[in-house]
Chain A
Amino acid sequence: MFAYVPLLSFFVSLTLTGFVLHRWTQRRRPHLLLWGVGALFYGIGGFAEFYYGLFGWQPLVFRLWYLFGAILVAAWLGQGTAYLLLPRQWAHGLMTVLLLGSLYAAWRVFTAPLAPDQMLNGELSGHALPASVRLLTPFFNLYGTALLVGGAAYSAWIFWRKRVLLHRAIGNVLIAFGALLPAFGGAFSRAGIPYALYLGEFFGILLIFIGFWRATHPGDAAANKD
């Protein structure tokens, strides 16, 4: 049954990708493009996990999963937040570093020897890669999670302090929680709890999707009490 959880993550990610990129075509703001790309990376990761659960080991699928689903997804989502909140020149500088880092990570992942017998719990796991490649992951994830969670929490705090745009405060709280869940899922998975990563990813993208939807649709929350 748990093999289908990543399929749900895949569908939610693709829906979010379509929603965010549609918004980008209307507004042409770079943060929307990067969030759309990040959501697409999330979907690639989910599809690779589903593929592995259903059809078993496939080296290309594993490499795609590790590159997009484990290394790049949080960093590219976080880069969107950098474009939203930081001065444009800073965001450009960070984007350059992220692009070069992503190319380096792709080279390392696609040239590394694989050991599929090292994976745990019958799930996709980075243990099939050498430790020197896996060591790249925390740096990308720290950067992306700090920006995504920090940016969402900061925005929610600002809206709350000014008591404005309640729907955005709520949406950002949900996005911050959602961004934390996959990271905790990964930690619990490493600690031996089966399918914690897959569940963390699913509930994470679900919360991010609901949060993004809430932040962009005022609804009832627009009627703040004065």
Chain B
Amino acid sequence: MTAQRQYPPLYEKGIPVLLALIVVLALALLALTVLVVLGVFPA
């Protein structure tokens, strides 16, 4: 039976947290862009 491969602990936990943060920031940016296109936020 082969053990599941692991990254070092810092990266094992850190990478998904950072990716979640990137997704949140990207969604915020998308919302901002929509507001700019709609003219709510200045272009």
| Chain A contacts to B: CB under 8 angstroms | 126, 131, 134-135, 137-139, 141-142, 145-146, 149-150, 153, 156-157, 160, 162-164, 166, 169-170, 173, 176-177, 180, 183-184, 187, 190, 224-226
Chain B contact-residue range equals: 20 to 34
Min C-beta distance of B1 to chain A, whole Å? 13
Q: Are A163 and B22 in contact (CB under 8 A)?
A: no
Which residues of B in the span 15-43 have a Cβ within 8 Å of any Cβ on A?
A: 15-16, 18-19, 22-23, 25-26, 29-30, 32-33, 36-37, 41-43
Q: Across the interface, which residues of B come within 8 angstroms of A176, CB to CB?
A: 19, 22
Q: Across the interface, which residues of A come within 8 angstroms of B43, CB to CB?
A: 126, 131, 134-135, 137-138, 190
In the complex formed, the residue of B with least CB distance to A220 is B8
- Quick one: which of A141, A160, A180 contacts B26, CB cutoff 8 A? A180
| Chain B contacts to A: CB under 8 angstroms | 3-8, 11, 15-16, 18-19, 22-23, 25-26, 29-30, 32-33, 36-37, 41-43
In the complex formed, the residue of B with least CB distance to A133 is B43
CA distance A113 to B10 in the complex (A): 53
- Quick one: which of A134, A163, A190 contacts B7, CB cutoff 8 A? A163
Q: Are B37 and A135 in contact (CB under 8 A)?
A: yes
Q: What are 5 of the A-B contact pairs (CB < 8 Å)?
A: A145-B26, A170-B11, A177-B22, A224-B6, A225-B6
CA distance A163 to B7 in the complex (A): 6
7 cross-chain pairs, A with B, having the tightest CB-CB distances, nearest first: A163-B5, A134-B43, A160-B15, A176-B22, A138-B33, A153-B22, A173-B18
